[in-house]
Amino acid sequence: MPKQPLYKTSRLSTYNSGAKFRGVTEDVDQRMITVVGCTLMIGAVIAAVTLFLMSLKNPSRGCGCGKSARVGGVAAGGEAMDIKSDEDLDAAIKTGEKVFVMFHAPWCGHCKTTKGPFKEAATRGGNTMYALADCANDITPKALAKYNIEGFPTLKLFSGGVEKTYSGPRNADSFVDFCK
């Protein structure tokens, strides 16, 4: 006697109420539905728990990178600070100190070539704080309009309530000279 397969070959057919299998035994059909349903539910639970844990690492962005923007956390003459929100940008500008901000987008070729000299200038920036504002991911269009950002990269120096747009050569020496 030949062995019978656990299930017969099934064909998917559609009815008014959706897709149904024909030719599959009731037991196998129910087991398959249960396994698929449980797998989807487990995946959803894992995704929700992962997002929750990531938000605990960085409540301001929920990205899970473990980094948080700290306004004033980088002393002048150090590394360029990453601005992670509109609030951080406003707070950095309102400190009254000199803050040189590069508004950039990660897809922009000019931004990519300017970022290196900008970071180099930050290491020898004297009494100026240098900050990078990612306009594609972190800064909202409302903030871009507020600071009149119309293209990338846009470099602005904020000092004591005065805003100056930089339009010179894009090298570290020129950035440092502009901020003096």
Catalytic site positions: 108, 111
Rounded Cα–Cα distance for residues 172 and 77 (Å): 13
Q: Which of 67, 54, 143 is nearest to 101 (CA)?
A: 143
Helix-, strand-, coil-residue percentages of the chain, each rounded to 5? 40, 20, 40
Neighbouring C-beta atoms of residue 6, cutoff 10 Å:
10
Phi/psi of residue 39, nearest 5 degrees = -60, -45
What letter would DSSP give residue 72? Answer: T
